[in-house]
Amino acid sequence: MPEGTVSRNFIELAIDKDLKDGVYDHVATRFPPEPNGYLHIGHAKSILLNYGLAKEYNGTFNLRFDDTNPTKEKTEFVDQIISDVKWLGADFEDRLYFASDYFDQMYEAAVTLIKKGKAYVCELTADEIREYRGTLTEPGKESPYRNRSVEENLDLFERMKNGEFEDGTKVLRAKIDMASPNINMRDPIIYRVAHITHHNTGDKWCIYPMYDFAHPIEDAIEGITHSICTLEFEDHRPLYDWVVREVGFEMPPRQIEFAKLYLTNVVTGKRYIKKLVEDGTVDGWDDPRLVSIAALRRRGYTPESIKMFVDLCGISKSQSSVDYAMLEYCIREDLKLKKSRMMAVLHPLKLVIDNYPEGVTEEFEVANNLENEELGTRKITFSRELYIEQEDFMAEPPKKYFRLFPGNEVRLMYAYFVKCTGYDTDDQGNITCVHAEYDPASRGGNSPDGRKVKGTIHWVDSSTAFKAECRLYENLIDEEKGVYNEDGSMNINPDSLEVIKGCYLESALKDAKAYDSFQFVRNGFYCADAKDSEEGKPVFNRIVSLKSSFKLPKD
Ligand code: ATP
Ligand code: MG
């Protein structure tokens, strides 16, 4: 047992016991995605769990594609999954496997079962099989094909493989127990005929193994010791054990289940994300409003923040749902000290310092992050015309408004004290420009004579700032209504994306590259969008705002 570990989850306890009892002398885990979509935050939990256990016990971690169902699987998804797993930091080294590479062994395993009298070719239709299966309260009925001879089964199964039968006309079933209280044990189908081209094996096969048969074999072939999966497979475990035992694997793997990760009011199921992508509700699998790993990355989440989140969630046997605010907490924590704090004005309003000389530009050297000296300093420019946030000026302020208003003095962050002298309006009465005078003695934003100002606002220099687009995100789901309706449709929030085109950002941000992130002071953390940014023309995604009412749950 690794030393210094405080509390151990039930999976670690089970592994500790297996090692102590000598059931296994090492630990081998895997992450087995089906390449039928992008991975999401739930998968990240599974990846980091399996990878983490392998590290903890000095074992091995495999990435294996569970690509046994060619109908929905695509190479695009394979490539994306590989890149997502690597990005998360789960290093599978050269341990990359494809279940489809084991089709020959799976076929042989099926033949072994037939020879042992443990599998038979059944010709009932899909509907009949369902009918014969019985219910939770009633036992099933045996198929009339159940007692075929071994020879006949071998012959038919080979002919299934040779393509002599149409899709859906014959299946191979395990011969277990039609009266079992566990429906999964009632002669489950283990092979079906499907004339479909496979992304890896092409047209070599026209029969494909079912998940419950293929998965334990994949694990056993790779010498997996602990096959960790989610709770919905708990009822399938007797079948998993039956397969590895009857096929005759030595040192069969052991399945352990844990509860899936759910986020409240967030779409996690692959099937549902796919629907949002296909109906155009979002702009692709990596739309920053989604929680696919690619989307989180594009939004600006880091592998460290996701790891922190998954660790905070913990591993459990009971289903629960976590607040999205916890994920936001993790990214704020992660970026807080790592990122430079820049000035960006999203809704600009011109501020003219009337007593500042025209045509002059001065520079201030400022800390990139006051809480982390290692990030160094940068230069920002200041001149007579600046931009400030519209909300930082009010012509008629309410009480306790400490920012700019006629007659009030504030600090322009890093620069000077300025006192508002007035403002201009257009024909409709809209405020178009604010006027102020600065106190040259307050250079650096320091009080020259001990007088205090209550407000500090940020700004950018209009002579060097550049115009850019920023995107703000809200939950994709209308939280009042919840995610799903009874008919499977989703309650979409029509205002989940706000595009602000005329933002002014300080010039240093111009060089931001895809995935670079920053704090925009007094606002939030932003990340240069990987798809829509161009050289010298970044587009920023707001990862998360600075404020939160979230508190860490106490354990
Ligand atoms: P989804 O339900 O989102 O469609 P899936 O379970 O069909 O996902 P797979 O590719 O079959 O996706 O899953 C790969 C692995 O990820 C499995 O071991 C599965 O149990 C695990 N996994 C999937 N969703 C979650 C989740 N929400 N939390 C934790 N693990 C998950
Ligand atoms: Mg699945």
Q: Partners of 518 in the beta sheet? A: 526
In 3-state terms, what secondary structure has residue 491? coil
Q: Partners of 389 in the beta sheet? A: 348
- 35 CA: nearest ligand 1 atom: 10
pLDDT at 219 over 90: yes
Closest CA to ligand 1's atom 4: 270
Distance 43 CA to ligand 1 centre (A): 5
pLDDT digits (tens, 9 = 90+) for 22-46: 999 999 999 999 999 999 999 999 9
pLDDT band at 4 (very low <50, low <70, confident <90, very high): low
- 261 CA: nearest ligand 1 atom: 28
Q: Residues 341-544: name the CATH superfamily.
A: Ribosomal Protein L25; Chain P (2.40.240.10)
64 lines ligand 1 (CB under 6 A): no
pLDDT on residue 73: 76
* CA 177 to mean position of chain CA atoms: 41
* CA 24 to mean position of chain CA atoms: 33
Distance 374 CA to ligand 1 centre (A): 40
Assess contact for 102 and 217: CB atoms under 8 A: yes
* CA 22 to mean position of chain CA atoms: 37
pLDDT digits (tens, 9 = 90+) for 248-259: 999 999 999 999
- Alpha helices (H) in 279-367, listed in sequence order: 293-299, 303-313, 324-336
Tokens of 51: 């990878």
Task: Give domain 263-335's CATH number out of 3.40.50.10800, 1.10.1160.10, 3.40.630.30, 3.40.50.150.
Answer: 1.10.1160.10
Pairing of strands 320-322, 261-263: parallel
261 lines ligand 1 (CB under 6 A): yes
The amino acid occupying position 263 is: L
User: Which ligand has the nearest atom to the CA of 32?
Assistant: 1
Residues in the chain, overall count: 555
pLDDT digits (tens, 9 = 90+) for 495-522: 999 999 999 999 999 999 999 999 999 9
How far apart CA 433 and CA 430 sit, in angstroms, is 9
Q: Partners of 425 in the beta sheet? A: 431
pLDDT digits (tens, 9 = 90+) for 435-493: 999 999 999 999 999 999 999 999 999 999 999 999 999 999 999 999 999 988 999 99
pLDDT on residue 488: 84
| 10-258 maps to CATH 3.40.50.150 | no
What are the two backbone dihedrals, phi and then psi, of residue 253, each rounded to the nearest 5 degrees? Answer: -70, 165
How far apart CA 262 and CA 231 sit, in angstroms, is 13
Assess contact for 249 and 220: CB atoms under 8 A: yes
pLDDT above 70 covers what percent of the chain? 98
pLDDT digits (tens, 9 = 90+) for 330-379: 999 999 999 999 999 999 999 999 999 999 999 999 999 999 999 999 99
35 lines ligand 1 (CB under 6 A): no
Dihedral over alpha carbons 244, 249, 250, 255 (to 10 degrees) = -30
pLDDT at 224 over 80: yes
Assess contact for 219 and 243: CB atoms under 8 A: no
Assess contact for 146 and 177: CB atoms under 8 A: no
Domain ranges of the chain: 10-258, 263-335, 341-544
How far apart CA 239 and CA 47 sit, in angstroms, is 24
- 260 CA: nearest ligand 1 atom: 28
Distance 212 CA to ligand 2 centre (A): 11
pLDDT on residue 165: 98
Which helix H or strand E contains 44, and what residues bound it? Answer: helix 41-56
Burial 359-377 (b: 16+ CB within 10 A, else e): eeeeebebebbeeeeebee
How far apart CA 240 and CA 252 sit, in angstroms, is 10
Q: Give, to the nearest 10 degrees, the angle between helix 303-313 and helix 324-336.
A: 130
How far apart CA 502 and CA 487 sit, in angstroms, is 41
32 lines ligand 1 (CB under 6 A): yes
- What's the rounded mean pLDDT across residues 193-209? 96
269 lines ligand 1 (CB under 6 A): yes
- What's the rounded mean pLDDT across residues 75-79? 93
pLDDT at 422 over 60: yes
